[in-house]
Structure formats: C-alpha cells, structure tokens
Amino acid sequence: QVQLVESGGGLVQPGGSLRLSCAASGNIFSISTMGWYRQAPGKERELVARITVAGSTNYADSVKGRFTISRDNARNTVYLQMNSLKPEDTDVYYCNARLVVRDTRDILDAWGQGTLVTVSS
C-alpha cells in the first residue's frame, strides 16, 4: 500500500559526512510532514529532524548546525545531510511520513525499515 525506501547509510569516520534519502511510494494522496528518527540499542526512538510540506523544519539540539533536512515534494522524497559526524550519531535511522492514503483518506504514519549509520575510526 505505502512504502518508504531508505538509502545512504553506512560506515563513516568521525568528522565525515553521509546523505540519507527516503522515497515514499504507493497509495498516497498527500504527504504533510516527513522526518528522520534514530534509535540506539536500549534507548527510545528520538526525533532527529522533520520538515513540513511548506518547508518548516525542526531539529534535535544534538544535531542542530550539523544536519540539514530537505525534501522534494514532486518526488515524495526527504533527505538528511549529515556533516561533522560523531560516534554518538551511530544509530539506526528511520524515515517517517505523515500522509493521507488515496481513496480512503485515512491519515497514516508510515515508517521505513531503518538504515544503519556507523561513525567509527
């Protein structure tokens, strides 16, 4: 019905950069907010960044100034540019979209399967 496909995760050295991408597809009428969350083992899932359809953004304090979220509404795609990466950024990152399902008009919080970001020397 609805799929969020993530890409861009991997291994990077401290101080390096990665760019995550997430494309939503399927039975979608519209998407309001898209965002990125992360979850380390033994910890709660936390918001990293989010962006509305109009382009308003919010960031976690821990990543502000280092990460940048953006989106391409025509492609239903959200990006997370991660610079100056730290070992503390090592997490599984999940893409999220608040969307309206086509025909049924149901409101749905859709999630990607997660992509692992490892920051290590």
> From residue 36, how far is each of 65, 66, 90 by CA, in Å?
16, 14, 14
Query: According to the model, what pLDDT value does residue 13 have?
Result: 98
Residues of the chain with pLDDT under 50: none
Query: 47-76, pLDDT tens digit by residue?
Result: 999 999 999 999 999 999 999 999 999 999
Query: According to the model, what pLDDT value does residue 40 have?
Result: 84
In 3D space, the residue among 2, 119, 4 whose CA is nearest the CA of residue 67 turns out to be 119
Query: According to the model, what pLDDT value does residue 20 have?
Result: 98
Alpha-carbon distance 86 to 16, whole Å?
8
Query: According to the model, what pLDDT value does residue 61 have?
Result: 97
Query: According to the model, what pLDDT value does residue 47 have?
Result: 97
Query: According to the model, what pLDDT value does residue 1 have?
Result: 87
